Structure 1
């Protein structure tokens, strides 16, 4: 009996095999975990720690008193947002501009990637990639400067040409009907090259044996495109679409803020520009923070919904 008890104690003192396996795995991958530390620190400091500021949305925030000293007012800041007569207008503008950008920017990305994938002359392909990728590094201030040099009323290159040709004066920068298309066109020009790189990487991962088998079966380039290339891009396209839908209330503050002027406020004023005015011009930080919380909740709901739809459609989704 004593020997049995001693054997049980000895067995319990031994490390569990699963625990040993985890420790060995951790030690074997120790350098990978070490490389994760800077990324984890970054997200903790700049993404999770600032979430404490969400409390401002429920406070009558005072700069002198700070987060912990400002009085708690519950959901009054949210009530200010929903009772604001501008709320429906800025939501409408934000959704319309975001949808325009999603449709107008994702499709050109795919088309450019497919076109570059068919180019067999390497130097020409590299030149086209460089030209299309270059504008991505320009700030929206520079982009607006270029647009202004072409479309400025009375002094722009295109405006002057139209006037000298006897076709009258044009003022596209302050035209409500042209403002949203202008945002989409400049978005396409600036970001299409970068977006195409993502799809080119997805195209490079497609098994080339599929194309060889398709050629043996007598499939032409269009058949290969329809049955192999596009299905190979489906998961990446769905992933990017889910991310874009999740940020549908982020219509691009930098671009809109720079292009916006008093004459196009009715069609160009979005959630972020409204928050900017409330937060930095009126110093209503609680209302601005409440709008940020509202945007985050809407984005979370849309991401979950879009992910489920992607899975039902046969895609992999995000999780």
Structure 2
């Protein structure tokens, strides 16, 4: 058994050689820094380092869960990311199905290119574009509102609008690129099923509902499992570039809170405790989603 397995490794040695840079990257930048998790259980002092800083046990976590503002930050994170998961997860599926149904190649390629483009722009650029588009003085959105006799709204500083802006801008940036996975899954569907449906006179809507969606269901389930951890893991770059003092109560999330406590206030141990809490919860969510999926179907990660 071992010899046959070793022969397979040797036969595919070049594939493993191509994988080596990825393993080195994850080892250096993702696994090696995990040693710093011990800071969450210390009163970390920069000059003494990790090895010399005194241990405080769970004091940082007691301070974390006993803090009044942490509840607000956690609630904001869960609400915003829940909306992103609900609307942002379904949007690429809908876009992929619509693109697949378009017959014109030129139009299909144009839609794909336009929808992919925001993914390759940084949040610094996209945030500037969003702020300009929603500007009360020169933004096209408020100019349109003024045509209907409405007063201009500075959406970015309005707590009632800020979460909607975060969710919609996240969908705008990710929907095109995320749809590639579903388009690839749709391309692998047996075309004979569609031909048989055409013979039976089945409408396009029914073909989507009874052929396309069930055929890509395994991919949808796996992507849902992988995205379940995003309920607690927010996008720091997006929130940081759009956040302002007037919307802190509805927009401050765990990542920006960690940045504020760790880098601005130099409370490194407390910030490490926040980060460790967030990652542990994300791991539990992914494992729970995978377990539930294993009970409902055979489409799981492991």
Distance 1:29-1:155 versus aligned 2 partners, 3 A rule: closer
Give the alignment of 1:133-144 within 5 angstroms.
133-144=116-127
Unaligned runs of 5+ in 2: none
Q: Could you say which structure has the larger radius of gyration?
A: 1
Partner of 2:287: 304
The superposition leaves residues 248-307 of structure 1 with CA deviations (integer Å, 9 ceiling, x where unpaired) of 112211111111111111111111111010000110111111111111111111111111
Deviates more, 1:28-37 or 1:83-92: 28-37
User: CA contact under 8 A between 2:85 and 2:230: conserved in structure 1?
Assistant: no
Distance 2:232 2:287 in 1: 15
How far does residue 315 in structure 1 lie from its aligned partner after superposition? 4.6
SS of the residue corresponding to residue 141 of structure 1 reads: helix
Distance 1:284-1:131 versus aligned 2 partners, 3 A rule: same
Distance 1:156-1:123 versus aligned 2 partners, 3 A rule: closer
Give the alignment of 1:12-27 within 5 angstroms.
18-27=1-10
Distance 1:155 1:218 in 2: 52
Question: What is the aligned residue count?
Answer: 302
Give the alignment of 1:6-155 within 5 angstroms.
18-155=1-138
SS of the residue corresponding to residue 86 of structure 1 reads: helix
TM-score normalised by structure 1 residue count? 0.89
The superposition leaves residues 129-178 of structure 1 with CA deviations (integer Å, 9 ceiling, x where unpaired) of 11111111111121121122222233434335545764334221111110
Partner of 1:15: none
Unaligned runs of 5+ in 1: 1-17
How far does residue 120 in structure 1 lie from its aligned partner after superposition? 1.7
What do you get for the CA RMSD once the two structures are aligned? 1.8
Give the alignment of 1:233-312 within 5 angstroms.
233-312=216-295
TM-score normalised by structure 2 residue count? 0.94
User: CA contact under 8 A between 1:238 and 1:315: conserved in structure 2?
Assistant: no
User: CA contact under 8 A between 1:59 and 1:286: conserved in structure 2?
Assistant: yes
